[in-house]
Amino acid sequence: MNTFIKIFLIIIITIPAVVFGQTNKIFKGFGLEVGAGYNTATWKEDDSPSAYRRNQFWLLPTMRIENIFTPRNTKNSIKLKAFSFIGYNVFGGKSKKYPNGYEDYYLLRSIEFGSLPTLDIRDKFQISAGIKCQYVFNGTGNYYGWLSQPDTIPRQWKTENHNWLKGPTLSFGIRMRYKIKIITCGVESWFGLTSVGSTFLENNYRLLFGIEL
Number of other CB atoms surrounding residue 116 within 10 Å: 23
Segment 96-133, tens digit of pLDDT: 888 888 999 999 999 999 988 999 988 889 999 999 99
Tell me how far apart the alpha carbons of residues 88 and 118 are, in angstroms, rounded to a whole number: 21
How far from each other are the two terminal CA atoms of the chain, in whole angstroms?
A: 31
Which class for 199: exposed (0-12), middle (13-18), buried (19 or more C-beta within 10 A)?
A: middle
Non-local CB neighbours of 201 within 8 Å, separated by 6+ positions: 41, 42, 43, 192, 195
Report DSSP letters for 150-209, one per residue: -TTSPP-EEEEE-GGG-EEEEEEEEEEEEEETTEEEEEEEEEESS-BTTTBEEEEEEEEE
Which class for 155: exposed (0-12), middle (13-18), buried (19 or more C-beta within 10 A)?
A: middle
State the residue range of the domain holding 114: 3-212
| Degrees, nearest 5: CA angle 82-76-132 | 15
Say which residue, 160 or 12, is predicted with more confidence.
160
The domain total for the chain is 1
pLDDT at 16: 53
Q: Is the pLDDT of residue 21 over 50?
A: no
What size, in residues, is the chain? 213
Instruction: Report the CATH number at residue 13.
Output: 2.40.160.20
Of 132, 206, 212, 204, whose CA–CA distance to 178 is shortest?
212
Contact between 173 and 145 under an 8 Å Cβ cutoff? The reply is no
Q: Is the pLDDT of residue 24 over 50?
A: no
**pTM, full prediction:** 0.80
